Amino acid sequence: MMEKVKIVNLKCEGCAKTIRKALTKEGYRGVEVNNVDLAVSFEGDREKALEILSRLGYPEQGSKEADSLLKKAKSFVICAVGKTAK
């Protein structure tokens, strides 16, 4: 079943690339990242995906971590890495 999660701190294709790579590596299928809707769609365990996304700096909208400065800073670093990764 396809899951859809709205996240924060998603800024560019570098962010999207990092998210796709991380979820795919963990066995998720059909991973799609929508930069306009700030949403990630995938097939797999929702709770585990939320943990992975939060660890990367992209917590779910409305969660207690959504306003974390640490998560925002981490997402900027991940964004830069995603832009330069092949």
Cα–Cα distance, 76 to 2 (Å, whole number)? 28
60, 78 Cβ separation under 8 angstroms = no
CATH code for position 70: 3.30.70.100
- Backbone φ and ψ of 31, nearest 5°: -70, 125
Residue 6, domain extent: 2-84
What is the number of domains present in the chain?
1
12, 83 Cβ separation under 8 angstroms = yes
pLDDT in tens, 12-66: 898 999 999 999 999 999 999 999 999 999 999 999 999 999 999 899 999 888 7
Q: Token digits for 24? A: 């795919």
Residue pointed to by tokens 């796709």 = 20
User: What is the pTM assigned to this prediction?
Assistant: 0.83
